[in-house]
Amino acid sequence: MKRILFTLTLAAALAFGSQSAFAQAKKKPAPAPAPEPAAKAEKPKSDKPIPMYVQADEIDASTKTIIHTNKDGKKSKNSVTATTEIKNGDKEAKFEDIKVGDMVSGLRKKTGEGTYDIVKITKFGPKAEKPAGEAKKPAAEPKKKK
């Protein structure tokens, strides 16, 4: 009986003792420190134009820019380039035809924080008013049970 108890104790000691020995041997090395970021790297500019629908709050004819101020007061500068195609619907148009307060739609490319180059202007003019018939319709009355 003593022999069996001794054997079981020895087996248990070897089993648990060997696991702790292996656990100590398998220590993971400390992770390498992250490299310090250099000066803010700019995100690569996308070549794909994005839709534009802005109100011309300010127009600078000398630099051919349309400035739009959003609800938060941030201004975006939209520049017309030598390759910008300007149309108003199907008709050819010029930058000088755009007036302050006009809604301008088309395509633009982001060039920086709050700056864009306009690729194409497709339509501009005063903000379209909704016809009176399209005003909010009253909610339908609930049906009465008979």
The alpha-carbon radius of gyration of the chain (Å, integer) is: 35
pLDDT at 107: 95
| Of residues 51, 57, 67, the one with CA closest to residue 105 | 51
This prediction has a pTM of: 0.56
pLDDT in tens, 4-27: 777 777 777 666 665 555 555 556
What are the pLDDT digits (tens) for 27-41? 666 666 666 655 555
Report which residue type is found at 111. Answer: T
Complete domains list, the chain, with CATH = 50-125 (2.40.50.320)
Q: Kind and range of the H or E element at 67?
A: strand 65-69
| Dist. CA 107–CA 53, nearest whole Å | 8
- 3 state DSSP class of 47: coil
The span from the CA of 49 to the CA of 91, in Å, is 22
Helix (H) or strand (E) holding 6: helix 2-25
Output the CA–CA distances (angstroms, integers) from residue 17 to 20, 56, 104, 136, in the order listed. Answer: 5, 78, 77, 78
The pLDDT of residue 53: 93
pLDDT per residue over 45-54, tens digit each?
567 899 999 9
For 104-143, the pLDDT digits (tens) are 999 999 999 999 999 999 999 888 776 765 555 555 556 6
